[in-house]
Amino acid sequence: MNILIDLIQFIDTALLFSITLFCAFIYFKTRDPFAGKTLWMNLPTAIYFLISYSFSYFTKFFNMYYANESNAFSIGWVSYFFAIFTIMVIALSIITVCRYGISLFPISQERKRIGIIVIVMISIAFLIFSIFFITFYSVGNLTDTLSNVIWIIYPTGSLAPFFLAVVMIFYFKSIKQGNQVRLAQYYLGAFLPQIVFTILDFFLFRQFAFQFTHLSYLVFSLLTFYYISTNYFLRYENNTGISLDKISVYGFSERELEVLKLLIEGKTNMEIGDSLCISVNTVKSHVKSIYKKCDVSNRVQLLHKIR
């Protein structure tokens, strides 16, 4: 049973980190705002998943190999300040997930800002309460300190996205944009079961390293990953439908238009040079000029800009 739990915990941590790295790749390659928003939402959660998995792994490892020694593992590497850092990561994860959910509501930007401020203030209050809780409840035991952060504080704080999802139900029919509707469905599907996961983590699975609360964040990350990957291949990798007649506003020279046409076809700099009977360095100069006129830094951004 423990092996199965460890395997599940490893898989969900690896999946979330892979999704976060993919979002980072897409964002830094395309500067797509949606990929950026998803990246900053996933990053704190991925860090927390790593902390939780590392805590579970090293606890079992040291207790296995040093159980008979007088200095049996008491998680000395986990200081009180590390526990506070973990709480801060949890609070940041809750803020970013709730902020993402608020952005899906069909309300004005001013009301969204007010909602985000309220979430931040609640998270700060939760952070302060959590610090006092682990200070007095754990009574200086470093092992219990982080255990209580993972067992109690994380599932409790994760009720915030659940309550936000409940409120979203009443606004759902007012969401008109297709992509917002889909993302709202993802949010509801991922976080409405959170109340059940919190109860399970509290009363039935306290002794297990894996927490059902992980599922809410992982499911939403997987669904947004599917949306981003589909969006990426449709918007950035698909070069059809680009008309050179629509890009006269950029003031390209005749030679730059020839180079641009071959760039759209996916030609390399060497292939472009061979086709136009010019050197690779000349091609690079034209490409650099094209990027500058379009205010982009790579080919993917260029294709998106002129679409």
What's phi and psi for 169, nearest 5 deg? -55, -40
Specify whether the backbone of 14 is left (phi greater than 0), alpha (psi in -120 to 50) or beta: alpha
The position carrying tokens 């409120």 is: 167
Q: How many CB atoms lie within 10 A of CB 141?
A: 13
**Residues 270, 136 share a domain:** no
> 83 pLDDT exceeds 90?
no
Alpha-carbon gap, residue 193 to 273, rounded angstroms = 57
User: What is the reported pLDDT for 219?
Assistant: 93
Judged against a pLDDT cut of 50, whether residue 208 lies above it is answered with yes
Q: What is the per-residue pLDDT for 105? A: 93
Do 165 and 248 fall within a single domain?
no
| Listed residue (185, 134, 122, 118) closest to 159, CA to CA | 122
178 and 271, same domain (yes or no): no
The 8-class DSSP code of residue 277 comes to T
| pLDDT above 90 as % of the chain | 27
- The pLDDT confidence band at residue 121, using thresholds 50, 70 and 90, is very high
Q: Which domain range does residue 91 map to?
A: 2-237
pLDDT of residue 101: 94
pLDDT tops 60 at residue 70 = no
pLDDT tens for 242-296 read 565 667 778 888 888 888 888 877 788 888 888 888 998 999 998 999 888 888 8
- State whether 268 and 224 are in the same domain: no
Q: Which CATH number is 251's domain given?
A: 1.10.10.10
- Inform me whether the pLDDT recorded for 169 exceeds 90: yes
Residue 192's pLDDT is what?
95
Q: Can you give the pLDDT at residue 77? A: 47
Buried b (16+ CB within 10 A) or exposed e, 49-58: bebbbebbee
Mean pLDDT of 31-40: 86
CATH of the domain at 208: 1.20.1070
Q: Give the pLDDT confidence score for residue 73 in this predicted structure.
A: 46
Range of weakest confidence among 64-68, 185-189, 220-224: 64-68
Do 253 and 227 reside in the same domain of the chain?
A: no
Same domain, yes or no: 227 and 269: no
* Position with higher pLDDT, 49 vs 147: 49
